[in-house]
Structure 1
Amino acid sequence: MAKAVRASLGEKTITCQVCDGDLFRERGVKLNSTGGELLGLAWADESATGLICWHCGFVHLFVNREIKLQRVKV
């Protein structure tokens, strides 16, 4: 079962753009480029933090490494 998290950037709490929820499931996401795929270098492409809204399922992507996640019991 996925663990719920709350997220923030600095003092700003992140909420869902669609439903304003503040609980998410976290997942790493690869940002593949066409060149990397063609040359077999997709492993070197940049990655992002994916936050999937616990309530509506909207996916938010963050490349900023300053994002802070806190586990929450649901």
Structure 2
Amino acid sequence: MAKAVRASLGDTWITCQVCRGDQFRERGVKLDSTGLEFMNWAWADETATRLICHRCGYVHLFVNRNLRLHKVKG
């Protein structure tokens, strides 16, 4: 299983919208668009950060580049 992280935007800590958990698994996500795929320019699409709640599994997507990830000790 992936290492748990906590996340923040500035001084605000991110919690799960469903269960209020504060630990997540993180993965990058490519936000593909049909037009760029058709022209073989998928590499130019924007990326997002996917945070999957460790407690309930709800998936959160963030495009904000100010999102900071913090390792959970232990």
Q: TM-score range by the shorter chain?
A: over 0.9
How many residues end up aligned between the 2 structures? Answer: 74
Distance 2:8 2:52 in 1: 14
Structure 1, unaligned runs of 5 or more: none
Residues 9-66 of structure 1, C-alpha deviation per residue, up to 9 Å, x if partnerless?
0111100001100000000000000101111111110000110101111110111010
Structure 2 SS opposite 1:35: helix
SS at match of 2:36: helix
The percentage of aligned residue pairs carrying the same residue is 70
- TM-score, normalised by the number of residues in structure 2: 0.94
- The residue type equivalent to 1:21 in the other structure is G
CA drift of 1:73 comes to 3.5
